[in-house]
Amino acid sequence: MLTTRADPAPLHGDPETPLASPYRAIFAAPGTTSFSVAGLLGRMPLSMMGIGIVTMISQVTGRYGLAGALSATLAMSAAVLGPQVSRLVDRYGQRRVLRPVTLVSLAAATGLLLCVQQKAPDWTLFVFTGVIGCVPSVGAMTRARWAEIYRGEERRLHTAYSWESIVDEVCFIFGPIISIGLSTAWFPEAGPLFAGVFLAVGVFWLTAQRATEPAPHPQQKGAEGASALRSPGLQVLALAFVATGAIFGSVDVVTVAFAEEQGHKAAASLVLAVYALGSCLAGAVFGLLHLKGEPSRRWLLGVCAMAVSMIPLLLAGNLPLLAVALFVAGLSIAPTMVTTMALVEAHVPRTKLTEGMTWTGTGLAIGVALGSSAAGWVVDASGAEAGYVVPVVSGALAVAVGLLGHRRLRRPAPNREGQRERDDNSGVGEHQDGEQPVA
């Protein structure tokens, strides 16, 4: 059984406030506050752009089918291009890669807004939306910085990943509200426009902070230069996250449809915010705990909890009960995500860490697109309440992947362990797979 206990003593700061000290301690390192705030701003488009496009298109054209197709195009494009961008970041550094790809993404977003305003043909909308997908995974960039700063310090890194999970949920609580609010209260293009502003400010501020930027690792030959996805453990995590993403995507769609059936469509955003709030609070508490036991077992328990928490959604007959059920369901999200990042860090070589973290986001993006489509089909065919079958089935698939791949997650990558052993002993030498250590 998984056991936890509160951190017995603060790492830094006032000993009378032990609960706050783990978070205070991770921000003691120079530059951490600045890159964390920059990462928050740069991640806002993650929750603003897709819903902003849906709101914009539905207001301008009234065509929800087109709006949904463009949103799916954005998700799939990001799923395909994101890992490639992160792979380049591992080779050449964050500053050299993120700034140009961000400018490309912003130019594509500008083109999309102009085409919508000028009522250009539909195919132009798909072209520009597809290019927007090269937007960098800012969350992976900030997590890579934490990993660089607290390498080998598992407790502090656990707290740092928990903090990043909180930031993710804050984005998902406020991002859609800001995007929808701007597009409906100001002008249709306002939501995607301000998503682009957040992206530009966040990325350029983040990349201006060179002191905390992880060192790049030049391209290597043979197996050493292969994709991080060759790691068996990462394959399990990415595949499980496809099913997990299907949970998120289907819950969003079905909840909006359910609220509309109840005659309170606008309340859907508040109900979904409660879902994210549950995850946010769980992430905050999770970062204060000193956990024992295997991370792989903890991850599997988290996936099972996420799956089981979907079942009560089938029984919620009104919005208040649905909000309570979603809040409880949200409690398992952040702890599972935090543990996932720890497993990625353990199974992927340092030279491919940013790419490895991005692959989990890619799995989520693919799952969101699939889950949204499946949920929409079920809602159209059988109604909103029946639509909650989709997240239940998606959770079951995630559990199946976790059970079948659990053994792979229990075996850290040999080159990872080899690197750590050499770091502890002498700090020099080569990995077991021949990879050079990173200073």
Tokens of 195: 């998503």
What are phi and psi for residue 291, nearest 5 degrees? -90, 145
> Mean pLDDT over all residues of the chain?
79
Which pLDDT score, from 0 to 100, does residue 161 have? 83
Place of tokens 């054209």: 61
Mean pLDDT across the stretch 410-414? 56
- Backbone CA torsion sign across 249, 255, 258, 264: negative
Asked if the domains 31-215 and 227-427 are classified in one and the same CATH topology, the answer is yes
Which pLDDT score, from 0 to 100, does residue 307 have? 93
Q: How far apart are CA 256 and CA 394, in angstroms?
A: 18
Which pLDDT score, from 0 to 100, does residue 408 have? 75
Interval 14-52: pLDDT, tens: 333 444 577 788 888 888 899 999 999 998 888 788 878
Which pLDDT score, from 0 to 100, does residue 372 have? 76
Which pLDDT score, from 0 to 100, does residue 344 have? 82
| CATH superfamily, with its number, for domain 31-215 | MFS general substrate transporter like domains (1.20.1250.20)
Which pLDDT score, from 0 to 100, does residue 415 have? 47
Host H or E run for residue 232: helix 232-261
Interval 262-314: pLDDT, tens: 887 667 778 888 888 888 888 888 877 776 778 888 888 999 999 999 999 98
Domain boundaries, the chain: 31-215, 227-427
Mean pLDDT across the stretch 114-135? 90
Structural fold of domain 227-427: Growth Hormone; Chain: A; (1.20.1250)
Mean pLDDT across the stretch 249-259? 81
- Top-confidence residue, 384 or 416: 384
Is residue 222's pLDDT more than 70?
Answer: no
Is residue 418's pLDDT more than 60?
Answer: no
Mean pLDDT across the stretch 381-404? 89
Is residue 391's pLDDT more than 80?
Answer: yes
Mean pLDDT across the stretch 75-83? 83
Mean pLDDT across the stretch 220-229? 55
Residue 165 neighbours by CB under 8 Å, 6+ apart: 279, 283, 286, 334, 337, 338
Write the single-letter amino acid at 386. A
Which pLDDT score, from 0 to 100, does residue 412 have? 56
Interval 87-112: pLDDT, tens: 888 888 888 999 999 999 999 999 99
Give the whole-number percent of the chain exceeding pLDDT 90. 20
Which pLDDT score, from 0 to 100, does residue 64 have? 65
Mean pLDDT across the stretch 65-93? 82
Is residue 206's pLDDT more than 90?
Answer: yes
Residue 172 class from Cβ within 10 Å (0-12 exposed, 13-18 middle, 19+ buried)?
A: buried
Which pLDDT score, from 0 to 100, does residue 34 have? 92
